[in-house]
Amino acid sequence: MTTGLGALAALRLDLAGARGFDAPGAGPARRQGMGQLTREWLVSVWDEALAGRPQEGIALAAVGSLARGDSGPLSDLDLVLLHNGRSLGGEDIGEVADRLWYPIWDAGVRLDHSVRTVNQCRTVASGDLSAAVGLLDLTGIAGDPDVVASTRSVIAHDLRASARKRLPQLVDSLHLRHTRHGDLAQSLEPDLKEARGGLRDMTVLRALAEAWLADRPHGAVDEAYRVLLDVRDAVHVVTGRGRDRLGREDHDAVAALLGHRDADDLLTSVSNASRTVAYALDGTVRRAGQAQRARTLRVGPRRPRLNPLGYGLFEHDGEVVLGPRSAVATDPLLPLRAAVVAARHNLPIAPTTLANLARTAPTLPTPWPEAARDLFADLLATGPGLVQVWEGLDQAGVVDAWLPEWAAVRSRPQRNAVHRHTVDRHLVETVVHASGLVRRVARADLLLLGALLHDIGKVRGAHDHSSSGAPVATAVATRMGYPTSDVEVVTTLVREHLTLIDLATRRDHQDPRTAAAARAATGGSREVFDLLLALTEADACAAGPLAWTDWRATLLRQLAEAVAGGWHQGGDAGAATAPAVQSAQVTVDDLQAVAAGEPRVIVRPQGGAYRIDIFDRDRLGLFADTAGLLAAYGLLVRTAILRTLDGVAADEWHVESPSGDEPDAERITRGLARLSQGDRAPLSLLDRRRQFAGPTSAQSGSGNPGQARALVVPHASEEATVLEVRAQDRPGLLHELGMAFAKAGLSVRSAHIATYAGQTLDTFYLTEFGGRLLSPAKVAQTVAAIIDTCDGGAE
């Protein structure tokens, strides 16, 4: 292994082997020993080079791994001959340099060298950001220590003074390097140094701290750094080369040298470490930017600017933080609320807030309350904003509290060539893609949960991850409190998530048995088939371009067309349907109050949410007014059922209150009375609510769920025309739909409102004035108006 290596390189390899790799503390001790050996040898070379010359104003200094004390067995030496420009002349400096560099080359060690004065170092650092970052590690080896100290000090001072300009440059250089070298955590052949989350990023962390731009995190990130250094050292020993890439051919040898059970365990360890480093770097860069903005905007202390996001959460300087009166110690739903708010606004949760939530928030009960399930579904529906928020939750340990099963797939590598992510990241990416397909299905929440869990069985020793993952999915959905029918749907999605693509690519679509097999996989339910079809597409898209090609998409579409022709009329067995909600009951007191011209409003708390029963005289536009009033008062409609009995509207609304305030029944009563008299002032707050609400996925581009859908449900009623609406939910949408119905002269005879994972699944029973069914032309106009209303607010 040491053939062709120089003397010093061979000694460092021998020392690395003698120190071992799998003993506790062996890594730092090994590197310290190799660094000490190198320093002692360099001092001897320095003494010979100087040969009795005065050493005042001249020094040998190191940058790079030797300066940081983390050099590997075959790491390069980055040396600088520093001088003050006065102690030795140009010819003498050149002679000293030659007497230094040639013995190092002769020892077979790769060398990056330079000869500079203090001012030259300043000039180089001012023009080259990477050089400035490297010079912050400058460490003296031999000679005059004052020259080294003054150089390092002036570089740090210059970087602090120019931080407003240099910090954006640093961020741009990070993005460029990460784009070029990829994400270490997601690579099967990672570049341990240059990739995102690699050793170079730790250098940037230290540089930010050295320049007083931000504090460097410790603890977990230090342990992650040690892991990456140990792997780098093992690569040097195994290959006999000073390289930083962990090649496939070296996985087994490096894993054995480091004491891992197999190569997959090695890659999992590397991925976990790099994710910790990357997360620490992202947070530290944000801290540095916040510090610079604080200095720029105002000299001296300033009060933080907090923008309310609801539920006691605020946006502060690009992060989501807890407010001073947040009920973190008593509200088990607060971590979920924080995650939803952050992902919807595409903001990270502040690390201190995450730590507080993980440490203080109560554990969710088993089974989860309905509000927790709804919030979790909302989180999964947030689109691309989910990725960074989920990573923060995972780093803080919150994901483990929600899903203990997640630990088994965290950072697990995938050796299938079609996959570009680890198992856990692939699951999150599948959820993101599925969020763009939710309008194709009746139950967005079940699609997204199935997407999150479809590969949960990809654990050590699993031969069929679909079969091994199905009982895990059953346990998760049951613990979350889903009813048995929904649990069965999620289990089916996980167990059969490969069935459709296998049938599409390996079977004859014209053979009736192929379509029959597809229907059988979903228990004969068309709605479950739609869910499985959407999951199949999301899974393939998340895997990568090799898994979702035009050819595969065409085959899957042909299979779906073949299956569509064989559904039996009259219902779907096992269909995923919305849970029934009992309607409000009209009492004699209610009828008397309505007869007297006053609406009747009753508010009932229901485990963190509220049920509002509203009784009023039925009139054109009542539905729109009620929905608009609730939205104007900051209430989020979860479900609702509207009925008209003997001319009295008996409506039941289930809402949430992000502000934490209980809905005011008297205020709602007054608002409805004013609206019935033509006074639109109570709705004035609605425009402001829309302005401050987070962007919808259509607005932000997240998820790209496509155009809203309005479908006629044939033969659903003999007394009304039934329309089903699927769209992205947003503040005031029900009000806008109600206004569209009112402008068309339509009465809402009954409405069944449901929201799953941020998507509406609303069914409206409509009649024309006088109770007539809608004509075909009127149906077409109404469908167009609904789509325009739903999509118009997203433009």
- 550 with 604, same domain: the answer is no
- 610 with 687, same domain: the answer is yes
At 123, which CATH number?
3.30.460.10
Asked whether residue 185 is domain-assigned, the answer is: yes
Q: pLDDT averaged over the chain?
A: 86
- 603 with 744, same domain: the answer is yes
Model pLDDT, residue 547: 84
Asked whether residue 435 is domain-assigned, the answer is: yes
| Measured distance CA(699)–CA(706) in Å, rounded | 11
Residue 22 phi, psi (nearest 5): -105, 5
Q: Is 556 a residue whose pLDDT tops 80? A: yes
Q: What is the dihedral of CA 618, 620, 625, 626, to 10 degrees?
A: 30
Segments forming the whole domain that contains residue 19: 7-161
Q: Is 370 a residue whose pLDDT tops 80? A: yes
At 265, which CATH number?
1.20.120.330
- Going by DSSP bridges, is the β-strand pair 58-63/636-645 parallel, antiparallel, or unpaired? unpaired
Crossing angle (nearest 10°) for helices 370-380 and 334-344:
20
Q: Is 173 a residue whose pLDDT tops 80? A: yes
Is the model's pTM score more than 0.85?
no
| Measured distance CA(642)–CA(623) in Å, rounded | 8
Asked whether residue 644 is domain-assigned, the answer is: yes
Query: How many CB atoms lie under 10 A from the CB of residue 455?
Result: 26
- 182 with 155, same domain: the answer is no
What mean pLDDT is predicted for residues 538-546? 91
| Measured distance CA(168)–CA(157) in Å, rounded | 18
What mean pLDDT is predicted for residues 384-410? 96
| Angle ∠(22,28,30) on CA atoms, nearest 5 | 70
pLDDT digits (tens, 9 = 90+) for 35-62: 888 888 899 999 888 887 778 889 999 9
Structure tokens at 472: 């895990």
Final residue before a domain boundary, out of 272, 297, 322: 297
Asked whether residue 264 is domain-assigned, the answer is: yes
Asked whether residue 578 is domain-assigned, the answer is: no
- 155 with 174, same domain: the answer is no
Final residue before a domain boundary, out of 246, 262, 297: 297
Q: Is 647 a residue whose pLDDT tops 90? A: no
Contact call for residues 227 and 211 (beta carbons, < 8 A): no
- 526 with 636, same domain: the answer is no
| Measured distance CA(720)–CA(80) in Å, rounded | 85
pLDDT digits (tens, 9 = 90+) for 174-206: 999 999 999 999 999 999 999 999 999 999 998
Question: Between the CA of residue 420 and those of 195, 427, 465, what are the distances in Å?
Answer: 15, 12, 18
Q: Is 633 a residue whose pLDDT tops 70? A: yes
What mean pLDDT is predicted for residues 665-672? 93
- 363 with 257, same domain: the answer is no
Buried b (16+ CB within 10 A) or exposed e, 21-60: beeeebbeebbeebbeebbebbeebbeebbeeeebebbbb
- 633 with 706, same domain: the answer is yes
